[in-house]
Every structure is written in C-alpha cells, then in structure tokens.
Amino acid sequence: MTDTALINQVIQLCHRAGEAILDVYNHSAGFDIDTKADDSPVTEADLAAHRILESGLSELLAGVPVLSEESSLPPFAERSRWQRYWIVDPLDGTKEFINRNGEFTVNVALIEAGRPVLGVVYVPTTGVTYGGADGPGAFKEVDGNRQAIAVRSIEARRSAGLPVSVVASRRHGASAVDQLLDKIAAAFGPVETTSMGSSLKLCLVAEGAADIYPRLALTSEWDTAAAQAVVECAGGLVVDTDFAILRYNTKKDILNPFFYVFGDKDVDWRGILS
C-alpha cells in the first residue's frame, strides 16, 4: 500500500470518528463527563471515537499495534519491541470539547523506529483535515479540496514589516512563555500571539499561519505525534528544549519533554532561546 493510499484510508477513519464525536457534541441533552485515574476528563465522545479508530486501524496494517489514549498502556518491556505502531488521540482537546469552543481534533499517527512517518489531524467542527506523510507530503484538505502546505520564512515576514507570530496553549505554561516571548522580541522585534487548544497549534505552524509554538508544559505522545508528522513534512521542526528532535516510545512513560515547534529551520533558534 502506498503512503497516499494509506493516509487516505486513515482520513476516512478520522472522519468517521469525527462524526461520532459530533453526534455527542451536538446532542441537545448534553453529555456525561467522567474522570480518569490521572484526573483528566473523558466523555462518551472520546470512547466512541476510540472504538472506531482502534478497530479500523487494526485492519489497515496487519500485526501493527494500536496505542490509544483510551486504551491501557502496555508495559515498556512489550512496547520497546514495537518498531511500527499506530498512536491515537481519539479526541485531542477534551476540555475544549466540554467548553464547546470547537478547538478539538482527532489525531492518528504511524510511528516507525520512534519517528512519526504519517499523521492525520482532523477538526470535526470545521471539516478541515491536515495530513502529512513521506510520499504525499503535507497538505490541508477543506471540502474535498486538498492543497499542499508549507512553513513560512521569518525573514520574508520581517521584510514585509510583519510581526513574528507565536501560537501558545490557552491553559498551560503562560509565565515561561512570556519569558520566551521577550527573547523572540529582542531578536526580531514585534511579536503577535494567538492562544488555541489541541494539536491545532502545531498545524498552524505547518501551514505557515504561525512561526513558533512553544510547549512549556506536559503533554503525552499521542497529543503530538500526528501533528509532528504534518509539521515535518511541511518543512518544520519539533524539538525538545535541548533542540533534539522529538522521538516516540523510547522510555517507560509516554510523557513528552517540553518542546518547541519551529517553522523556519534557517533561524538560529538555539542562539536566540538559550
């Protein structure tokens, strides 16, 4: 199966999961909210999307495991043997879902040797799909119209008199981000900021609508893998605060380090932010 054929089938599964999410989201009677062991919320929409994706992905590539936020986490002794597996966040941005602001996504990535080689991020409320894989590259699909996307040049923005754009989490790491903004402003001048939920922040960098996304708070690997594939296929970088490329399934827990998403790879980010 080619990368293009595979990503098209993953998109179909994500759309089906998105339909199940919207069935709950738009229900006039509302929905129940439960709390998981880590105190994070979960709804029937998370679970409905999980069931669709887990069964569908298991059929796409025989023998390739599926790791979902809503499934149990296998011991690292087992996971460490996985050279290829799916990682899934059936509903990224459950708090945004609960608050009904529309900023939630369905995330699916294929990991090979610790690297996300294929990723789909689907936004159920808008119908927008972001995708990335080694074959088809990075793209954004709206109403069936698929267009290639790419990160943008900061130098081109500065030449046009436009500010550097930083997209940040609405809920996490605000004080640390403020310090980082000061460093960026010292290097480039005016900085504009946008707050947003879920993996959409990485996708904004991938499509050239933002320049930097700093995540200076905890996330899990299923939060980032799909969008990282899109960013990298669009020409950008996702690195930890030591500027090492983010990798997956390398340790017992599935927490990411703090990280940066950069669009323009020609900038000396280490020199500016260190």
Residue 269, Ramachandran bin (φ over 0: left; ψ between -120 and 50: alpha; else beta): alpha
- 194 has binding-site annotation: no
Which positions ≥6 away from 58 have C-beta within 8 Å? 64, 66
What is the Cα–Cα distance from 88 to 268, expressed in whole angstroms? Answer: 33
- 141 has binding-site annotation: no
- 91 has binding-site annotation: yes
What is the Cα–Cα distance from 36 to 25, expressed in whole angstroms? Answer: 20
Q: Centre a 10 Å sphere on the Cβ of residue 251 and count the other Cβ atoms it contains.
A: 12
- Which DSSP symbol is given to 163? P
- 69 has binding-site annotation: yes
Q: List b or e across 114-148, with b for residues whose CB sees 16 or more CB atoms inside 10 angstroms.
A: ebbbbbbbbbbbeebbbbbbeebbbbbbeeeeeee
What is the Cα–Cα distance from 34 to 45, expressed in whole angstroms? Answer: 11
What is the Cα–Cα distance from 8 to 1, expressed in whole angstroms? Answer: 11
> Is the Cβ–Cβ distance between 204 and 178 less than 8 Å?
no
- 235 has binding-site annotation: no
> Is the Cβ–Cβ distance between 173 and 118 less than 8 Å?
no
What is the Cα–Cα distance from 27 to 54, expressed in whole angstroms? Answer: 24
What is the Cα–Cα distance from 105 to 128, expressed in whole angstroms? Answer: 10
Angle ∠(75,79,82) on CA atoms, nearest 5: 165
Please report, in range form, the residues annotated as the binding site for Mg(2+).
69, 89, 91-92, 223
Q: Which residues sit in the known binding site for substrate?
A: 69, 91-94, 223
Annotated binding site: 69, 89, 91-94, 223
